[in-house]
């Protein structure tokens, strides 16, 4: 059978997780579950409902929403062409007529991307093909008359695919705000009572240079508020919700930075001013910032380069250039945060790396993360839904980097007690040591009943001597060993050994359950009933 899997001549190959991706294993996954469970609980108390969108979408969705010039879209997306099955492929010489006809049909239904490149290619092919056909005379196959150089060109265009996109361009999602907006539009959620509050959790993909806290597949827990008004209380409540969540997890060293980056009225003027000021000091800036003077001057403010810090400190600040409405909105957001007891720091350099933001932006850092210390980022994005073909809609949200959140929780001492070790990872409640066929049947039934009552049970699959079984129970960190042999089964009295002190007692089946439940309640008072 093994021959079927690996051919004789082939050496067995060792596979590894792809760079920038990793396996999450127990016991760590218990902490992930605890974090996610806490998010479900906290977000529900703020009236948010869970959403699950696909992990891949049309590449163009992200290009439009996040911005074609951003690092995320221009360098970091995993994009591939989802090839059509329906197109004759590759058109063997002579099949071009069928190919063209089919391509036109598919473009009409948008199954073949109706992008300018494809339209142009089909038009050109049609022209050449028609020309070739005209050359045909009665009785001859028209194709024989098509000039061979022309055929060559057709061949290059179609078979070598150098001018056609034979399928949709699809990207693994680098973030989920764009997907949520797409879903909002697609499901007509503007018809629901506004605003609509949604949250999500799941993997995102960015082709970044991997390092501590930065992965190519990473996880986000995010929330978005769509529709309704742009009342500053909405901004403040969204921020309050993340802070409540972090508080519940006892995340250490939490620092909230906020800023306003203005809107369509005031930001362009500020960006021009910034560009003009940056041009004056261009020679003193590094190559990245020099390039950004042209592409996106705001991102220069993000620079961590030591040599640029002095220069950046002298640049004009957006807070001084907000229009009246944006300034009032920003002031009100701050007031609303204060009313909620949320402590913040204003950071005029906080501009964020995605294009859709306007007005409120925020970022949260936590301890123990080194250079990748942003554990949450978010902001307001009125207009994004409209940009994606929906009605004018307000929007604000955030995404938490779950990997970083977990790292920070693991590194802070207070989280040691809350390290999320669920019973299944800490050990087992009960290890069932059984010997003999009759005892095996009883053991299977006992395991079923104990598990039903919520206990974690290890039932060895094969018979073991009691000594070995008890050793195994110890290794797994079991609290109790339930010993079932012939005697126990005939008497209906089961032996329960407490592994911590070695004490043993004989119990009937119902008494065993009562005893274990009572002991569990003693250890965890929250389980005590009445």
Q: Which residues of the shown chain bind ligand HAM in the complex (CB under 6 A)? A: 175, 177, 206, 208, 213-215, 218, 220, 222, 224, 354, 374-379, 397-399, 401, 403-404
**100 or 198: CB nearest ligand HAM:** 198
Q: Shortest approach of ligand HAM to residue 399 CB, angstroms?
A: 4
Q: Two tokens at 459?
A: 């039932």
Integer distance in angstroms from the first to the last C-alpha of the chain?
58
Q: Shortest approach of ligand HAM to residue 406 CB, angstroms?
A: 11
Q: Shortest approach of ligand HAM to residue 298 CB, angstroms?
A: 14
Q: Shortest approach of ligand HAM to residue 57 CB, angstroms?
A: 13
**352 or 440: CB nearest ligand HAM:** 352
**64 or 479: CB nearest ligand HAM:** 64
Place of tokens 């604000």: 396
- Any idea how long the chain is? 530
d(CA 258, CA 272): 23
Q: What is the CA radius of gyration of the chain?
A: 32
CB 394 within 8 A of CB 228: yes
Q: Shortest approach of ligand HAM to residue 261 CB, angstroms?
A: 13
Q: Closest Cα partner for 365 from 347, 339, 341, 340?
A: 347
Three-state SS for 200? Answer: strand
Q: Shortest approach of ligand HAM to residue 514 CB, angstroms?
A: 47
**345 or 475: CB nearest ligand HAM:** 345
Q: Shortest approach of ligand HAM to residue 53 CB, angstroms?
A: 12
CB 425 within 8 A of CB 27: yes
Q: Shortest approach of ligand HAM to residue 265 CB, angstroms?
A: 21
Q: Shortest approach of ligand HAM to residue 197 CB, angstroms?
A: 12
Q: Two tokens at 148?
A: 């061979």
Provide CB contacts within 8 A for 231, sequence distance 6+: none
Q: Which residue's Cβ has the minimum distance to ligand HAM?
A: 401
d(CA 20, CA 23): 10
Nearest 10 degrees: CA dihedral of 441, 444, 447, 452?
-110
3-state secondary structure 306-342: HHHHHHHHCCCCHHHHCCHHHHHHHHHHHHHHHHCCC
d(CA 133, CA 484): 88
CB 506 within 8 A of CB 494: yes
Kindly report each contact of residues 330-333 with a partner whose C-beta sits within 8 Å and lies 24 or more positions away, as own/partner: 330/260, 330/359, 330/360, 332/232, 333/232, 333/235, 333/236, 333/258, 333/260, 333/360
CB 171 within 8 A of CB 204: no
Q: Shortest approach of ligand HAM to residue 379 CB, angstroms?
A: 6
Q: DSSP letters along 355-396, please?
A: TT-EEEEEEEE-TT-TT--EEEEEEE-TTHHHHTTS----EE
DSSP E strands in 2-134: the ranges are 49-50, 56-58, 79-83
Q: Shortest approach of ligand HAM to residue 489 CB, angstroms?
A: 54
Q: Shortest approach of ligand HAM to residue 307 CB, angstroms?
A: 25
């Amino acid at each position: 059978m093994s021959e079927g899997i690996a051919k004789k001549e082939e050496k067995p190959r060792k596979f590894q997780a792809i760079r920038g991706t990793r396996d999450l294993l127990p016991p760590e996954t218990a902490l992930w579950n605890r974090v996610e469970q806490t998010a479900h609980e906290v977000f529900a108390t703020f009236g948010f409902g869970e959403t699950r969108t696909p992990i891949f979408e049309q590449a163009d969705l992200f290009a439009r929403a996040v911005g074609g010039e951003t690092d995320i879209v221009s360098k970091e997306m995993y994009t591939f062409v989802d090839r059509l099955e329906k197109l004759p492929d590759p058109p063997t010489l002579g099949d071009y007529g069928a190919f063209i006809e089919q391509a036109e049909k598919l473009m009409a239904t948008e199954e073949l991307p109706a992008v300018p490149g494809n339209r142009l290619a089909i038009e050109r092919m049609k022209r050449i093909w028609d020309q070739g056909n005209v050359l045909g005379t009665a009785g001859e196959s028209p194709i024989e008359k098509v000039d061979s150089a022309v055929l060559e060109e057709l061949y290059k265009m179609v078979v070598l695919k150098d001018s056609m996109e034979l399928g949709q361009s699809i990207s693994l999602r680098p973030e989920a705000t764009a997907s949520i907006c797409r879903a909002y539009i697609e499901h007509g959620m503007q018809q629901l009572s506004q605003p609509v509050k949604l949250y999500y959790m799941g993997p995102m993909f960015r082709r970044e240079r991997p390092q501590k806290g930065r992965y190519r597949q990473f996880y986000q827990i995010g929330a978005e508020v769509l529709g309704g008004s742009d009342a500053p209380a909405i901004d403040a409540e969204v921020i309050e919700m993340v802070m409540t969540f972090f508080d519940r997890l006892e995340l250490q060293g939490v620092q909230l930075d906020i800023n306003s980056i203005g809107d369509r009225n005031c930001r362009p003027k500020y960006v021009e001013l910034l560009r003009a000021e940056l041009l004056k000091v261009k020679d003193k800036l590094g190559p990245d910032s020099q390039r950004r003077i042209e592409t996106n001057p705001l991102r220069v403010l993000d620079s961590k380069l030591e040599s640029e810090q002095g220069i950046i400190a002298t640049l004009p600040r957006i807070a001084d250039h907000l229009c009246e409405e944006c300034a009032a909105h920003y002031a009100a957001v701050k007031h609303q945060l204060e009313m909620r007891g949320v402590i913040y720091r204003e950071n005029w350099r906080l501009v964020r790396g995605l294009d859709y933001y306007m007005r409120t932006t925020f970022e949260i850092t936590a301890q123990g993360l080194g250079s990748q210390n942003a554990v949450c980022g978010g902001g307001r994005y009125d207009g994004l839904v409209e940009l994606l073909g929906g009605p004018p809609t307000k929007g604000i949200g955030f995404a938490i980097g779950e990997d970083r959140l977990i790292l920070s929780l693991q590194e802070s001492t207070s989280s040691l007690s809350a390290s999320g070790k669920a019973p299944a990872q800490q050990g087992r409640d009960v290890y069932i040591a059984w010997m003999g066929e009759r005892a095996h049947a009883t053991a299977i039934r006992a395991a079923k009943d104990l598990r039903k009552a919520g206990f974690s049970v290890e039932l060895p699959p094969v018979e073991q001597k009691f000594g070995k079984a008890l050793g195994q129970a110890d290794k797994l960190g079991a609290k109790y060993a339930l010993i079932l042999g012939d005697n126990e089964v005939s008497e209906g009295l089961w032996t329960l050994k407490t592994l911590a002190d070695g004490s043993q007692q004989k119990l009937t089946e119902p008494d065993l359950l009562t005893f274990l439940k009572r002991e569990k309640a003693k250890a965890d008072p929250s389980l005590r009933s009445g």
